[in-house]
Amino acid sequence: MNIYIVAIVIYILALIAVSYWASKKVKGGSDFMVGGRKFNSWLIFATLIGGNIGAGSTIGICGLAYKNGISAVWWMIMSGLGSVVLAYIVGPKIWELSTKYNLMTCGDFLDKRFSKQFKGVFSSMMFIGTLALFAAQLMGVSYILNAVAGVPKTTGVIIGAIVVVIYFSLGGLVSSAYVGILKLVVVLSGFIIAVPFALANVGGFSGMHTMVAANLGSVVATDKYFSFFGLGATIIIGYLFMLTPSFFVSPGLIGIVYGAKDKAAIRKGTMMNALVQFTFAFIPAIIGMSAFAMFPDLKTADLALPTAMVKMMPVGISAIALAAVFAAEISTADTVLYMLNGSFTNDIYKTFFNPNLSDDGMLKMSRGVTLVSGVAGVILALFLPNIISALTIFYTLMSVSLTAPLLFGIFSTRPSAAAASVSAITGVAVTLIITYGFPKFKLFGILNAQTTGMIVSIIFMVIMIYAFPAKAFKEGKKEVELEVVNQ
């Protein structure tokens, strides 16, 4: 009997059992979407870490380190910086708005602050981008199943989709919270155990250096591989502009913040999540570098993590470690399904097609959207080349289009719906034009397309809020003024 499959099956059964138990706490759409706004700091922490340690921060970083060395840690470090901003700046402010106006999603904020039309356009775009994020998690599951049992990619993707759709549809955000606690224990214990065994196989850091140098055959390439700045300034700055904003404007993470019982829970829970992100960044990177030292000719870098765990560790230890990776991919996928639900059920369907949708109706619709999203994610996962490519689609779309409207919208009364639209559209347009029309162009000789698009988006927002500031408007005979938390 394959011990790896046994370990994964046990974890799957535990997921479903926890979700079934959590489903008893879900009485309607509000519980499904925002957990009844009852989460303490530990549930906020568990839910956030469940969403933030997934395919990108495990298989993705490991693959990045396999190819580029220790500088792969910047992916997670920049993500952690975004969590710090969410903890102390964005999170408490937008939570106050969510409780005041009973906001269920990030799209609800955009509707309240700007316009229904801006909410619709953004939510439609994010639904597409989030499908790419979901596909990345399913690809991560398929790589694990392929490494431990030779399961083909298509079959592995389908298995991952079935599991996550079943357990998320039971309890929504409540399931994510309690599964996050289970995941935290499994993932951290699994990875902490894995690192010493990976290093032991290559003779520690000195042995790793010797083996990598032999594989690369160049002193310059080896020095770059072991440099924290080996990725280069363009990529590291690009991560700053792509990932840091993504972790404080992400609709999924903001939705989790909405579920908090108070601001203190947000600050403490989100900051604990950030500290884990900073620390965890080095774990998959070290495993990826060890895998390159031992197996420099893997077919794809995304196989580095499962290969290392199967071939560089005792069977019992590797079974625990692989269950941890599986936990990371599956548990992040539920957060992604939460985002897809919010984008479609609340921000598109209820807003534009059925404004009178009841709480029970929202619950039923959310479960239907979960099923459809699972099918769409499977299809997309079969076409995208690797996990980092899938994640880049999502993070780029989100950070470029949402950062300026969300930040300026929370902290200033001046931005109008027009300013938000112009900012988002120009930022995305510049990013796409440079990426596909002028791929070698770098602003100031160092900034990539996404970073340039972000800067352009912010510049246009500033221009618009001073040239065409928002004004009070009339709704019937009632004077309505734009409201922000810090007024």
Residue-wise pLDDT for 411-434, tens only, equals 888 899 999 999 999 999 999 999
Q: Alpha-carbon torsion 9, 11, 14, 18, what sign?
A: negative
DSSP 347: I
**What's the pLDDT at 473?**
37
**477 inside domain:** no
**292 inside domain:** yes
3-state secondary structure of 382: coil
Cβ contacts of 260 within 8 Å, gap of 6 or more: 37, 39, 44, 91, 95, 266, 269
Burial annotation 288-298 (CB, 10 A radius, 16+ → b, else e): bbbbbbbbeeb
3-state secondary structure of 441: coil
Window from 46-60, 76-90, 108-122, 255-269 with minimum mean pLDDT = 46-60
Query: What one-letter code names the amino acid at 296?
Result: P
**262 inside domain:** yes
Stretch 58-86: mean pLDDT, rounded? 94
* Structure tokens that stand for 451 in this block: 């970073």
Biggest distance spanned by C-alpha atoms of the chain: 78
Is residue 173 over pLDDT 60? no
Answer yes or no: are the C-beta atoms of 328 and 53 closer than 8 Å: yes
Q: What is the DSSP string of 99-132?
A: HHHT--SHHHHHHHHT-HHHHHHHHHHHHHHHHH
Residue-wise pLDDT for 277-316, tens only, equals 999 899 999 999 999 999 999 988 888 988 888 888 887 7
Going by C-alpha positions, the residue among 244, 315, 323 that lies closest to residue 79 is: 244
Cβ contacts of 221 within 8 Å, gap of 6 or more: none
**447 inside domain:** no
Residues of the chain with pLDDT > 90, as a percent, come to 33
**409 inside domain:** no
Is residue 386 over pLDDT 80? no
Top-confidence range, 9-18, 186-195, 199-208: 199-208
Give the number of other Cβ atoms within 10 Å of residue 23's Cβ. Answer: 17
Tokens 């102390």 belong to residue: 88
Query: What one-letter code names the amino acid at 285?
Result: A
**138 inside domain:** yes
Give the number of other Cβ atoms within 10 Å of residue 146's Cβ. Answer: 18
User: CA–CA separation, 219 vs 215, rounded Å?
Assistant: 11
Label residue 150 exposed, middle or buried (CB < 10 Å: 0-12, 13-18, 19+). exposed
Higher pLDDT, 267 or 321: 267
**What's the pLDDT at 36?**
60
Please provide the average confidence, as pLDDT, over all residues in the chain. Answer: 82
Stretch 61-73: mean pLDDT, rounded? 95
Is residue 483 over pLDDT 50? no
User: CA–CA separation, 138 vs 147, rounded Å?
Assistant: 14
CATH (domain of 87): 1.20.1730.10
478 φ, ψ to 5°? -95, 130
39 φ, ψ to 5°? -70, 130
Higher pLDDT, 353 or 171: 353
Stretch 176-186: mean pLDDT, rounded? 65
3-state secondary structure of 45: helix
**458 inside domain:** no
Window from 3-7, 78-82, 117-121, 183-187 with minimum mean pLDDT = 183-187
**What's the pLDDT at 224?**
96
User: CA–CA separation, 177 vs 39, rounded Å?
Assistant: 9
Residues of the domain holding 16 = 3-387
Is residue 206 over pLDDT 50? yes
Answer yes or no: are the C-beta atoms of 444 and 437 closer than 8 Å: no
Tokens 């939705």 belong to residue: 255
Window from 26-40, 76-90, 327-341, 405-419 with minimum mean pLDDT = 26-40
**What's the pLDDT at 397?**
81
**159 inside domain:** yes
Residue-wise pLDDT for 456-470, tens only, equals 999 999 999 988 887
Whether the full predicted model's pTM is greater than 0.75, yes or no, is: yes
Stretch 389-403: mean pLDDT, rounded? 82
**What's the pLDDT at 156?**
86
User: CA–CA separation, 486 vs 482, rounded Å?
Assistant: 12
The number of distinct structural domains making up the chain is: 1
Higher pLDDT, 319 or 403: 403
